[in-house]
Amino acid sequence: GNSVTQMEGPVTLSEEAFLTINCTYTATGYPSLFWYVQYPGEGLQLLLKATKADDKGSNKGFEATYRKETTSFHLEKGSVQVSDSAVYFCALTLYSGGGADGLTFGKGTHLIIQP
């Protein structure tokens, strides 16, 4: 079956530190990959996505590259801010079209940024 594995949290960093949240996946086909973010008191929001190998998704200073050879989609940001504190979810879908039908999520990584 399909699954997503993320690094366990919470991850605590100081402001302006470099961030990496690891995500690896197993899938029976060629998935589209996503990172969702949930800020306190809000719903999940799509942060970025990549639909094929070697694609790089980016948004709000965050980046993730679809690595087929290592089945990974690690999330990175060069300099984090307190406002980045949230829970981050890696996800995949095997549905075509790059949409979000049938998402499989990881457990989520709670990121805490200290001033």
Partner 1 sequence: EAGVTQFPSHSVIEKGQTVTLRCDPISGHDNLYWYRRVMGKEIKFLLHFVKESKQDESGMPNNRFLAERTGGTYSTLKVQPAELEDSGVYFCASSQQGEKLFFGSGTQLSVL
Amino acid in position 64: A
Bridge partner list, 58: 63
Q: Which is nearer to partner 1, 112 or 114 (CB)?
A: 112
Instruction: Pick from 53, 101, 112, 114 the residue near partner 1 by CB under 8 A.
Output: 101
* Residue 30 engages partner 1 in binding (rule: CB under 8 A): no
**Smaller CB separation from partner 1, 49 or 74:** 49
Among 21, 33, 50, 103, binds partner 1 (CB under 8 A): 103
Task: Supply the Cα-derived Rg of the chain in whole angstroms.
Answer: 13
Look at residues 14, 10, 19 and name the one whose alpha carbon lies nearest to residue 87.
Answer: 10
Q: In terms of CB distance, is 100 or 114 closer to partner 1?
A: 100
Query: Can you tell me the distance from the alpha carbon of 3 to that of 93, in angstroms, rounded to the nearest whole number?
Result: 10
Using CB under 8 A, which of 10, 26, 99, 112 touches partner 1?
99
Contact between residue 86 and residue 40 where contact means Cβ atoms under 8 Å apart? yes
* Cβ contact 72:56 at 8 Å: no
52 binds partner 1 (CB under 8 A): no
Binding site for partner 1 (CB under 8 A): 4, 36, 41-46, 89, 91, 97-108
